[in-house]
Amino acid sequence: MDYLNIKLNGIDTDGTEKEFSLADFKGQKIILYFYPKDNTSGCTQEACNFRDNFNRLTSKATVIGVSPDSIKSHLKFKENHELNFILLSDPEHILSEAFGAWGEKSMYGRKYMGIIRSTFILDENGSIIKEWRKVKVKGHVDEVLNSL
């Protein structure tokens, strides 16, 4: 569970920039989801699904989105879509590698490294209690809710 103390800059729920580690949320369940890129169609749909179910989710867990995008990009993404949860910037892929959410992908026969869309539920001590890999956006938030 070395991943608990990894520090990343992010955008808080109120839009302010600050440094976070998962250890900051000890005593709370966390929905940690990794997505490839701000303001792309699938990532926007996924973020808006989390946003639209925020009250149902946050009664049970804290929602945190992670991508390699910059703080500036996250801020614009958050403002454009009125996102109401924390976004972490992981440009060095430190947290995403720790969770196995950074790896080889393929598009049109071309292989490259990137974020593998993944979601994890962490218990109050930071242990992974549920995970989804290669997430399909449609219906995913309902799967997460059903698992809480």
Domain ranges of the chain: 2-147
Pick the catalytic residue from 43, 57, 64, 141.
43
How do residues 62-103 score in pLDDT, each as one tens digit? 999 999 999 999 999 999 999 999 999 999 999 999 999 999
CATH code 3.40.30.10 for 2-147: yes
Quote the CA–CA distance of 120 and 41 in Å, as a whole number: 22
pLDDT at 59 over 70: yes
| First-last CA distance in the chain | 21
Give the SS3 label for residue 13.
Answer: coil
The alpha carbon torsion through 140, 142, 147, 148 (nearest 10 deg) reads 120
Greatest extent of the chain over all pairs of C-alpha atoms, in Å: 44
Q: How confident is the model at residue 12 (pLDDT cuts 50, 70, 90)?
A: very high
H or E stretch covering 102:
strand 102-107
pLDDT at 106 over 90: no
DSSP 129: E
43 annotated active-site: yes
